[in-house]
Structure 1
Amino acid sequence: MCGITGIFAFNLVGKFNKIHITNATMALEKRGPDFQDIYIDEWVGLGHRRLSIIDTRDVANQPMWDDEKRYCIVFNGEIFNYRELRAELEAKGVTFFTQSDTEVLLKLYIQQKESCLPKLNGFFSFCIYDRQAQTFFLARDRFGIKPLLYLFDEDKFIFASEMKSVLQFGIERNLDHTSLYTYLQLNYIPAPDTIFSNVKKLLPGHYLKISRQKMDMARYYEIPYDREKAESNPLSYDTAKEEFKRLLEASVQRRLVADVPLGSFLSGGIDSSIVAALASKHKPDLHTFSIGYRDEKFFDETHYARLVAKQIKTEHTVFSLTNNDLYTHVHSILNYIDEPFADSSAIAVYILSKETRKHATVALSGDGADEMFAGYNKHAAFRQITDKGWKENLVGALGSLWKVLPKSRSGAITNKIRQLSRFSEGMKLSSRDRYWQWAGYAGKDEAMNMLQPEVRANVGLSDFASRQQNILRGLPEKENINDILLTDMHLVLPDDMLTKVDLMSMANGLEVRVPFLDYEVANFAFSLPVEYKINAGMRKRIVQDAFREILPVELYNRPKKGFEVPLLKWFRGEMRSLIEEELLSEKFISEQGIFDYPTIAVLKRQLFSSNPGDVHARIWGLIVFQWWWRKYMTVKKS
C-alpha cells in the first residue's frame, strides 16, 4: 500500500508545474512512511511513497522501470494472485529481478496492455508511463478500494492518491457548488465529482489513457447482474452456501500474503468475525483487534468480539475508549481530511487503525458484506415496503406521531422512534426518491436552505439531477433488493465505506484488506436470488447460515449496531465551544459567505434540545466542511 502522484505536461505552461512533484509526493508521507522517490524527465514527473508489504527490499522500491527502461510504474495496492501471474509470464520467458507484485503488474501490462486488468485479483490504483510512446495508462480496481484523483486541462494531466497531493501542484481551487449541495445531503461527495470543479475521481473499474492533450476513458469491469437470472438461479440454498464458503475462504487465504505482521479487525459483528475465523484457520498466530466505548455501553460490542476471539483462539486486543479519547483525536482526523467527508464512524476507524498499527502493518476487515448481502436496516425496510402488510401500513399511518416524539441515535427507544419516522416518510416516496432519502441525512430542500441565496444560485440543479440520475440508474420503479444492493455498490460502498477505511487507515500507515470484495465473491453474490440474502426474519441470510457452525451462538439474533460513535454527548460536552464559538459561529459563517446562518442556528438549537433526531450527523457534516474550508480555502494565493 502506497501513495502515488504524477504529472504529464503538454506544453511549456504545464511544464512549469513539474517543480511541484517533490512536494506532491511528500504530501502522501503518511500513506507510505517507508520510502520516497521521484522520476522527472522533460514532460513527465512521477512520485511514490512506499508502505513496504511484499518484498520489502530496496530493489522493489518505486518508481520501478522495466529492463529496457521504456516503461515506468507507480502503484498503490496489492495484487493477490501475483504469484500465479508471475508463473505464467515466466513460462513465456519473462524474467524478474524482484519478488514483488509491482514488477509482475508492470511486466503483465507490457505483455497485454489493458487486457491485463481482468486478470488482476486485488485492489489498486496505478500509472504506467510509456517513455517511448509518451503516454500514461492509469487504472483503478473494480470496486474503488483504492482512490485515484485527476485533473486534465489544456496544459497538463495531474493525478494522485489524495487531494492534498493534487493541491500541491498549485491548481485553481474552484468550489463545485453542486458537489457542496450533494455533500450537505449525503455527508460525502460521490464519484466522479469532487469538491473542486476541475478535479475528478476515476470511477471504480475504469482506466484512462493519456497522450498529449488527449484523454480516453473506458470501463473494464461491471458487476455481472441480471435480475431475472438471479431470481431463477438453479443453485439450491445449501449448494449456494457451500460455494460461498469456498469462495470466501479462498479470498481470505489469498489476502494473507505479506512479508510484514498481519492481523484482523474484529468488531464483534458477523462479517469481521467470519473473516477472522477463516484467517485463523490458515494463520494460527493471528492477532485480532477491536474497539469499545467505556462510557457508552449502547455502542459497545467488545463482549461479542471477545467471545469470537476465544472461540477461534486468536491473540486479542481491545482498545477501550472514553469520550475524551474521541476528542483527543478529532483534530488529527479533521486535519487529514482533504475533501469534505463526514461519516462520523471514521473517528473510530482512525483510532482503531492507529492502535492496530502498533502491532501490525496489514489488517483484514469485513467491509463489503452489508452492501452485497443486505445487512443494513434500510435493506430490511426496503423489503418491508415492497411486501408491506398491516404492520407497515400502521407505521405509515402514525407518521404524524413519530414526528413529534423524541428521536436520537443515543438510546434504544429514541433510536427506534427515529427509524420508524424515517420508514414512515420513505413509504410515501417513489423508489428512487426513497433510496436517496435513506442514503442521506438531509433532504434536497433542507440542504438548499442551508445555503445563502447567492450560493443557491450557483448550484446547478440540472447538473445535480443528472448526477443523481446516473447514480440511481439501476433502480426501476418497482425495485428488487438486488437492485438496491447494486446501487449501494456504486454509491455507498466506494464513496462512503471504502473512502472512510482508506483515509483513516492510510493516515496511520496501515493497509486494510477486504476479503468480501474479491471479485469472484462479488460476482457470485449478484447471481443469487434475494431470498438467499434476506427474508422476513434475517438479513445477510446466506452469510450467517454458511458460517453458523464456526461462530458463537451469541452473535446471532441481536440488533445490528454498526460502527458508530457517540457524537451527541460529545457535541454537547467537549466540542460545544468549537461548534458555538468557532466553526458554526455567526461571525465565521457571515464572513465565509456560504451558509445561511438563521438555518444553521435552528440546527444548533435542535442539537442541544431534547429531540435531536439525526441532527448531530448534519452538524458533523458542517464541522468537517468548515474545518476543511478554513484549512484549504482561506490560504493566501501566491
Structure 2
Amino acid sequence: MCGIYGSTIAYSENEVKEKLKRTSFRGPDKMGVRLFDEEKQPIRLGHNRLSIIDLDVRSDQPLTYQENIHIVFNGEIFNFKTIKKELANKGYEFKTTSDTEVICAAYLEYGQDCVNHFNGMFAFVIYDKVKNLLFGARDRLGQKPFYYYHNEKQFEFASQLSSIQLFNEKLTISKEAISAYLLWGTIPDPYSIFNEIKKLEAGHSFSFDIETGNFKSKKYWDLDYKGQNKFSGNYNEAQEELEKLLSDAVKIRMFADVPVGIFLSGGVDSSLVSALAAKETPGKVKTFSVKFDNKEFDESEYAKRVASHLQTEHSVIECDYTEGIQLIENLSYFYDEPFDDASAIPSMLLSKYTREHVTVALSGDAGDENFLGYHRYNWMRYIEKAYKFPDPLRMMVAKALTLAPHYKAKTIGNVINKATINDAYLATKRDLNSKWFDLSGYNYKDESNSYLFHNNKNIYERISDFDIKTYLNWDINTKVDRASMAFSLEVRSPMLDYRIVDFSRTLPTEFKFIKGNQKRILKDVLYKHVPKEMFDRPKSGFTMPFKSWFRNELKDYVLSELNDDGLATIPFIDKKEVKIMIDQHMDGSWNRYAIIWRLLVLKQWLKNNGKGFSIK
C-alpha cells in the first residue's frame, strides 16, 4: 500500500517531493522520485512506499523493468504468484519477489488487457518509454483511489487530490460538487471537489499519449446487471462454492512480509473472515475491535465472544468523544474532499491503534452489498408492498404519513410518495429534504442510475448492484482507504474479491434473503465455524453515537460551529431551514445528526482546504 504521483508538468524535484510529502502518511518507509527530462515532454514519477511484500530496496519505486518500462503502483495484486509463474514460463525474468515487476511483465505480454489478469486492489501508472505513453488502471471495485488533472497536453495524477492541488493555481471549486456532496454526503465518481480534477472510475483503465495530450479511458470490467449469468446448482452446492471462494480470497490476502491482523466487530462478515483466517494461520490470529461508551453502538462484547471461540489474540480499542473531536478536526487533512460518513471516525481510531501491532488488516467490507444485509433491504419488502397499491391509494397513504407527528412516519411518507419504487430507493440513499440546500446547479450525468432503473432483475438485486457501484465505491472504499492510510495501515477486504462479487450476482435472491433472514448463505457458511447463537441479535451499524453526542457532550461544539457566522461560510444552503433543523435535533423532535455532521464536515473543508479558490 502506497501513494503514487506523476506529471508531465515540469515541476522541480523539490516540488515533486513536496507533493509526495503532503501524503507521506500513505507510505512512510521510502520516498522515491524520478525525473525524465525528455526532449519534447518532461515526465515526473513519485512514490511513497509502505513496505508490505519484498521489503528490500530492490522493490522501491519508481521501478524500472527491462529498461523502458517505469511504474508507480499502489495496492496489491493478490494472484501475482500465479501470473508470475505463467510469465516465467514464457521467458520473463524477475529480480524481485514483489508484485510490482509482475504488473510490468504482464503489460509487456498482454498489453493493456493485462488488467483482466489481475485479482487485487490497485491503482498504477506505467510510463512506456518506447510507445511514449502513460498507461494506468484502477481496480474493479474502486478500493484504491486515483485522481487526475488533464489540461490539453498537461497531465497529472496522484493517489490523493491534495498532491495535485499543491502548486496548481488553475483550480476552481465545483458548485456541482458541493451540491452533490449536500445531496449524497460524498462526491460521486468521476467528479471531485475541483472542476479541473477528476477520479478515474472503478474498473477503468486509461492511456495518455504524451506527444498529443490525448487521454482515453476504457471500462474493462462491470457487474452483470443484466442478470445473464445464473447459478445452476442447489443451495448446498452454492454454499460449498461460496466457502471455497471465500477461503481462497482470505488465504491470498494473508500473504505479506509483515504482521497481519483482522478487524473483528463481532458481526457476521468480520467473524467469517476471522474464522477463515484462523484456519489459514499456524499461530494465533490478531484481532481488533472498537468499544464505545454508548452501549447502543458498542459491539465489543460480541467481538470478544467470537475471538474467544476462535482463540485469537484480541485487542479492544476504547473510543470516547474527546478523541473523536481531535479526529474530526483533522478529517479534511486525510480525506482531501468533503466526506460525511460518520463511521470514518471509529475507522480512523481502529486503524490508529491496530497499526501499533500489525501493518496489514483484513476487513469484512462488502458482505452487506453482496448478500443483501443492510436494514434498508428489509425495508424495501414493505415499500414494495406499498407500490402494489393503486397509485391514488398509495399517494393518499403517503400524504397521511407526512402529516403524522413522528419524523420516522414522515420519512416513510416522503419515500412512498415517489413515482416508482426505483425512485423510492434512490430517495432513501439521498437526503429527502432538499429544501435546505440549492440543487439548481446540479447537472451531474449520473450513469450509476442505469444499475437501478431497469427491469432485468427484481428490486432487491437491482439495489444490491446499485449499492456496489455507488455506496460501496464512493463511500465505504473511500472511508476505509483514507482512514487506514492516515496511519499507514493496509486494509484488505476478501469479500471485495471480484470473484465473490461476480458469484453473488449469479445466486437466486432466496439464497441470500428469505423470510427476513438476510445474508442467509453467508450466515450458513459462518455457522460451520462459529455457533449460530452468538449472532442471535439485531444487526448494528459501525458508526459514532453522534445523535446523542450532538445533544449532550458535543452540543456546545455544534452550536458554536454552526451559529450565524459559521453558517454564513457555507455556500448554497438555506440558513433559516438549517437553523430549524438544528433546533429540531436539540429538542429531540427529529434526528438531524446526519445533516449537522454533513455541514460540519463541509465547513471544515472550506476552512482548511478551500482558501484562495473561487467557486464556479
Q: Does 1:21 align with 2:16?
A: yes
Partners of 1:276 and 1:189 lie apart in 2 by 32
Deviations 1:43-80 (A, max 9, x none): 1111100000000111110000013x211000000011
CA distance in 1, matches of 2:479, 2:607: 21
Report matched runs for 1:422-441 at 5 Å: 422-429=411-418, 430-441=420-431
Query: What residue is the counterpart of 2:605 in the other structure?
Result: 628
Q: Which residue of structure 2 aligns with residue 218 of structure 1?
A: 218
Q: Which residue of 2 aligns with 1:97?
A: 95
Taking the aligned partners of 2:103 and 2:387, their CA distance within structure 1 comes to: 54
Residue pair 1:403, 1:421 contacting (<8 A) in 2 also: yes
Distance 1:523 1:592 in 2: 42
CA distance in 1 between counterparts of 2:387 and 2:417 reads 15
What's the % identity of the aligned pairs?
34
Question: SS where residue 480 of structure 2 aligns?
Answer: helix
Matched, 1:581 2:560: yes
Q: How does the TM-score come out when normalised to structure 1?
A: 0.90
DSSP 3-state at the match of 1:41: strand
CA distance in 2 between counterparts of 1:25 and 1:228 reads: 45
Which of 518, 541, 545 is 2:497 aligned to?
Answer: 518
Deviations along 1:397-456, whole A, 9 cap, x unmatched?
48746764455xxxxxxxxxx3x654443233213321221112344x33xx324xxxx6
Note closer, same or farther for the CA distance 1:482–1:389 as it changes in structure 2 (3 Å cut). Answer: closer
Q: Distance in 2 between matches of 1:209 and 1:382?
A: 42
Matched residue type, 2:578? I
More moved, 299-308 vs 551-560: 551-560
Q: Kindly tell me: are residues 591 and 366 of structure 1, through their superposed partners in 2, closer, same or farther at Cα, counting changes over 3 Å?
A: closer
Q: Indicate conservation of the 8 Å contact 1:307/1:552, yes or no.
A: no
1:30 and 2:25 matched? yes
Query: Are 1:4 and 1:47, in contact at CA under 8 Å, matched by a contact in 2?
Result: yes
Matches for 1:262-273 after TM superposition, within 5 Å: 262-273=260-271
The answer for the alignment partner of 1:293 in structure 2 is 292
1:280 and 2:244 correspond: no
Change over 3 Å in CA distance of 1:360–1:585 after alignment to 2: same
Tell me the alpha carbon deviations over residues 223-243 of structure 1, each in whole angstroms, 9 at most, x when there is no partner: 23433654xx42111111111
> Does the 8 Å contact 2:179/2:572 carry over to 1?
no
Q: Output aligned runs, 1:40-119, within 5 Å.
A: 40-42=35-37, 43-67=42-66, 69-119=67-117
Deviation at 1:573, TM superposition (A): 3.7
Matched, 1:6 2:6: yes
Residue deviations 1:497-527 (CA, integer Å, cap 9, x gap)? 1110001001010000000011111111101
Gaps of 5+ in 1: 10-14, 408-417
Q: Distance in 1 between matches of 2:333 and 2:470?
A: 25
Q: How does 1:536-615 map to 2 (within 5 A)?
A: 536-582=515-561, 584-590=562-568, 594-613=572-591, 615=592
Stretch moving more, 477-486 or 122-131: 477-486
Q: Is 1:147 aligned to residue 145 of structure 2?
A: yes
**SS in structure 2 of the partner of residue 277 of structure 1:** helix
Q: CA deviation at 1:333?
A: 2.6
Deviation at 1:17, TM superposition (A): 7.8
What residue in structure 1 maps to residue 593 of structure 2? 616
Residues 318-337 of structure 1 mapped to structure 2, 5 A cutoff: 318-337=316-335
- Judged with a 3 Å threshold, the aligned counterparts in structure 2 of structure 1 residues 531 and 396 are, in CA distance, closer, same or farther, namely farther
Rounded Cα–Cα distance in structure 2 between residues aligned with 1:593 and 1:288:
43
Give the 3 Å change call, closer, same or farther, for CA 626–194 of structure 1 in structure 2: same
Instruction: After superposition, give the CA deviation of every residue in 1:191-246 in whole Å (9 maximum; x if it has no partner).
Output: 0111111111111110110013101111111123433654xx42111111111011
Q: In 1, Cα distance between the equivalents of 2:412 and 2:258? A: 46
CA contact (8 A) 1:431 1:476 kept: no
Per-residue CA deviation, residues 158-177 of structure 1 (Å, 9 max, x unaligned), is 11111111111414331222
TM-score (norm: length of structure 2): 0.93
Q: Which amino acid aligns with 1:632?
A: N
Structure-to-structure mapping, 1:180-219, within 5 angstroms: 180-211=178-209, 212=211, 213-219=213-219
Give the drift of 1:320. Answer: 2.1
Q: 1:99 to 1:302 in 2, by over 3 A?
A: same
Matches of 1:236 and 1:597 in 2, distance apart? 57
User: Do the aligned partners of residues 399 and 311 (structure 1) sit closer, same or farther apart at CA in structure 2, a change above 3 Å counting?
Assistant: farther
Describe the SS at the equivalent of 1:550: coil
2:89 and 2:78 mapped to 1: Cα distance?
19
Q: Distance in 1 between matches of 2:537 and 2:238?
A: 25
* Alpha-carbon distance between aligned partners in 2 of 1:383 and 1:523, rounded to the nearest angstrom: 24
Shift of the alpha carbon at 1:546? Answer: 2.0
Aligned match of 1:414: none
Partner Cα distance (1:636, 1:116) in 2: 39
